[in-house]
Amino acid sequence: MQKEQIENLKNELKTAFNDINTLNELENKKVEYMGKNGKITLLGGMIKDIPNEEKKEFGMNLNELKNIFNENYDKIKKELEERIINEKLAKEAVDVSLPGTKINNGAPNILEKIIEEVESVFMSMGYDVVDGPEIEEDHYNFELLNIPKGHPARDAQDTFYVKGEDYLLRSQTSPVQARVMLASGGNKPIRMICPGKTYRRDADDATHSHQFMQIEGLLVDKDVSLSDLKGTFDVIAKKLFGEDCITRFRPSYYQFTEPSVETDISCFVCKGKGCSLCKNTGWITVSGAGIVHPNVLRNCGYDPAVWTGFAFGFGAERLAMLKYGINDIRTFYQTDLREISNFDRRDDE
Ligand code: DAH
């Protein structure tokens, strides 16, 4: 009787796995045959009713049945798992021959880059980088800097006034000198630069812009002379324009410095021989500078009998135009992305 059942189950197992398509169905088969109430398990439970001499054979047959089940089970399981993996791989396949998605790279703003370069040179010489207001008081922008109301030196800086005569869009970064000196209390040395926006009522053209960036600098200490300014300027020029760059001073006039100078660098294109960039002079002017006027020191709380200092003002656009061969200042304010990424490339040349 049990023999017959074993034979039947053997036959059944031949086709039992035929229509299994998922791991779930396979697990159900396991329960059906090998679970607690599974067909093979129940059959095994009958061993206790079998005469002793037949037990051995029954056991062997039962094992054979279990082996058949397990072999089938393992084989189907492997096949199903492989199929699942292959399906997953096929779904997630990447065609490496497809053209990639183009990613537009950003480029740093060229003025920002020049300013960071100048800042890092000055910081390496112990200067602080400070900020000042763009809407400024006449008092700081002109009066403390030795340019009283009605003085003709104001004409050189045609100014945007806001709110009457006392407030304006700063026409230079020099008021930040005055602010820093006043904040320092007249008894400490100062080394600072202030890069920032400035405004003048200029008609925009290739070399003028009603908004532009200056980089102001001030050093106050004891026994500061024009040769300290020259040495500092030399270092900056070499760092920005190359080790073979040489510098010179030309006399000039600013109300807030005495003596005042224009600072020139040797032309980095023709190395001083004369070319169109330097208008055949061999020299390029890059900033105004001078020894801080005693009136300015006094106005800002420093005793000119004890303290001296030098100051300078660079035009950031001018530096960038020279360095990157840009011939129109309006380029900086037209935000043409092609120009911006173009500057970035030029740096690698
Ligand atoms: N403020 C001047 C200008 O806008 C530039 C300048 C010249 C700044 C000489 C200075 C300086 O501090 O000492 O033209």
Interval 212-264: pLDDT, tens: 999 999 999 999 999 999 999 999 999 988 999 999 999 999 999 999 999 99
Rounded to whole angstroms, the Cα distance separating 98 from 116 reads 41
Q: What is the pLDDT, as a whole number, of residue 272? A: 84
- pLDDT of 209 strictly over 70: yes
Which of 8-12, 20-24, 288-292 has the highest average model confidence (pLDDT)?
288-292
C-beta of 175 in contact with ligand 1 (< 6 A) = no
Q: Are 217 and 311 in contact (CB under 8 A)?
A: yes
In the numeric block, the tokens 């190395």 are attached to 271
**How remote is the CA of residue 271 from the centroid of ligand 1, in Å?**
26
> Averaged over 155-161, what is the pLDDT?
85
C-beta of 315 in contact with ligand 1 (< 6 A) = no
Give Cβ neighbours of residue 254 (< 8 Å, ≥ 6 apart): 153, 260, 288, 290
The residue ranking higher by pLDDT, 345 or 251, is 251
C-beta of 289 in contact with ligand 1 (< 6 A) = yes
| Cβ contacts of 154-160, under 8 Å, gap ≥ 24 | 157/200, 158/200, 158/201, 158/202, 159/199, 159/200, 159/201, 160/199, 160/200, 160/201, 160/210
**How remote is the CA of residue 254 from the centroid of ligand 1, in Å?**
7
**How remote is the CA of residue 282 from the centroid of ligand 1, in Å?**
23
| Position 225, amino acid | S
DSSP bridge pairs for 218: 192, 311
DSSP bridge pairs for 266: 283
> Residue 349: pLDDT band by 50, 70, 90 thresholds?
very low
- pLDDT of 164 strictly over 80: yes
Q: Which of 290, 319, 314 is nearest to 146 (CA)?
A: 290
> Residue 1: pLDDT band by 50, 70, 90 thresholds?
low
The residue ranking higher by pLDDT, 133 or 48, is 133
Helical ranges in the chain per DSSP H: 2-16, 23-34, 39-45, 52-91, 110-124, 138-141, 175-184, 226-241, 294-299, 316-324, 337-346
Check the CA dihedral 206-211-215-218 and report its sign.
Answer: positive
Q: What is the pLDDT, as a whole number, of residue 345? A: 58
CB atoms within 10 A of CB 335: 9
Both tokens assigned to 163: 């709110």
The residue ranking higher by pLDDT, 344 or 333, is 333
| Sequence spans of domains, the chain | 2-91, 110-343
Q: Are 128 and 191 in contact (CB under 8 A)?
A: yes
Does the domain at 110-343 match CATH 3.30.930.10? Answer given as: yes
Q: What is the pLDDT, as a whole number, of residue 3? A: 81
pLDDT in tens, 77-126: 999 999 999 999 999 988 889 888 888 777 788 888 899 999 999 999 99
> Averaged over 288-302, what is the pLDDT?
98
**How remote is the CA of residue 313 from the centroid of ligand 1, in Å?**
4
C-beta of 292 in contact with ligand 1 (< 6 A) = no
Which of 41-50, 100-109, 153-162 has the highest average model confidence (pLDDT)?
41-50
Q: Which of 192, 152, 201 is nearest to 173 (CA)?
A: 192
Q: What is the pLDDT, as a whole number, of residue 324? A: 83
Q: What is the pTM of this model?
A: 0.70
Give Cβ neighbours of residue 299 (< 8 Å, ≥ 6 apart): 143, 144, 145, 146, 178
| Position 134, amino acid | E
pLDDT in tens, 303-321: 999 999 999 999 999 998 8
C-beta of 313 in contact with ligand 1 (< 6 A) = yes
C-beta of 58 in contact with ligand 1 (< 6 A) = no
- Can you state the angle between helices 52-91 and 23-34, rounded to 10 degrees? 170
User: In the chain, how long is the greatest CA-to-CA distance?
Assistant: 132
Share of the chain above pLDDT 90, in %: 69
Q: What is the mean pLDDT of the chain?
A: 91
> Residue 346: pLDDT band by 50, 70, 90 thresholds?
low
> Residue 150: pLDDT band by 50, 70, 90 thresholds?
confident
How far are the Cα atoms of 323, 340, 343 from residue 337, in angstroms, in the given order? Answer: 19, 5, 10
